[in-house]
Amino acid sequence: MLRSYSCLAKLLEGWGASRWGSRAAASQGVLPHPTDVSFPGATVRPLPSSEPRDYALPNPSWSADMMDQFHKFTAMSEGGTWRRIPSHRRVEDSAPEYMKHKMEDRYKERDTRYFCRIIDSEGLGFEYVMFFNPSQKRMVGIFQLGPYLEGPPGFVHGGSIATILDATLSLCALFATSAILTANLSINYKSPIRLGSVVLVDSKVDRVEGRKAFLSGPVKSVDGRTLHAEATALILQLDFSKQVKEQQLSLS
């Protein structure tokens, strides 16, 4: 990881003096350092009381780059080739329909949240939406990475980059192959990501061997010119019926 971030020192050299310089940088999707701004678009909203809220829809914190990518893939979805994946606080609310009843029966009555949706305030953590292409077995995640995801000053934490890769690759595996459990995630970090940037995670299923699904995907800037990271993953299918039977036997 240190080798992958060898260019970070140069990027940070002028940080203290420039404090991200001008407003022009912010207009390109790069936020100033979080101690210098108030993030007026960040608001706290209560959890819904009935129907789960779909967080994969625009809110005031989304930048111009985020909105541009959202509209681009929404337009591509009109022909049925792509489709937007709703995103909720709990994993089972966002699962494919054929799996929801299996997950709800087992995991109902839980006071939990999906890790990528733990922050109530808009724009401070992971803002994202994913689009799935069934015929290509491909999932594209559009992520805006907020100031609560900081690692090196002004840049996104490497663990947050791992999170968006795992989230996108595993959801791609779930919708394309029913695989759900990440067994291995291997990441090569190429270039740091500035806080507030919008990036694309483009994942695809490379092959399936029995219960094993092998996937890969890069993290790139919205213009495609910068490769921030690339990853491969091994994701396994789970036999829910077998697990339920084993749980029932352990309780009897």
Q: 110-121 burial string, b = 16+ CB within 10 Å, else e?
A: eeeebebbebee
Question: Is 87 domain-assigned?
Answer: yes
Structural domain including 242 reads 52-251
Angle, helix 97-107 to helix 240-251, in steps of 10 degrees: 10
Instruction: Tell me the sheet residues that pair with 244.
Output: none
Q: What are the φ and ψ backbone dihedral angles of 168, each rounded to 5 degrees?
A: -75, -45
CATH of the domain at 89: 3.10.129.10
Question: Is 37 domain-assigned?
Answer: no
Question: Is 126 domain-assigned?
Answer: yes
The candidate with the shortest Cα–Cα distance to 121, out of 41, 30, 62, is 41
**Hey, how many other C-beta atoms are within 10 angstroms of the C-beta on 35?**
8
Question: Is 33 domain-assigned?
Answer: no
Separation CA 37–CA 122 (nearest Å): 15
Question: Is 240 domain-assigned?
Answer: yes
Give just the sign of the alpha carbon dihedral 140, 144, 149, 152. Answer: positive
**Is residue 24 within 8 Å of 159, Cβ to Cβ?**
no
CA 153 to each of CA 23, 147, 160: distance values in angstroms, whole numbers, following the listed order: 18, 10, 14
Per-residue pLDDT of the chain (252 residues; tens, 9 = 90+): 444 444 554 544 444 333 333 333 333 343 443 333 333 444 444 444 457 899 999 999 999 999 999 999 999 999 899 999 999 988 777 666 656 555 555 556 667 888 999 999 999 999 999 999 999 999 999 999 999 999 999 999 999 999 999 999 999 999 999 998 999 999 999 999 999 999 999 999 999 999 999 999 999 999 999 999 999 999 999 875 555 445 444 544
Query: How many domains would you assign to the chain?
Result: 1
Question: Is 76 domain-assigned?
Answer: yes
The secondary structure element, H or E, covering residue 73 is: helix 64-77
Question: Is 193 domain-assigned?
Answer: yes
Question: Is 82 domain-assigned?
Answer: yes
Catalytic residues, which ones?
166
Separation CA 72–CA 65 (nearest Å): 11
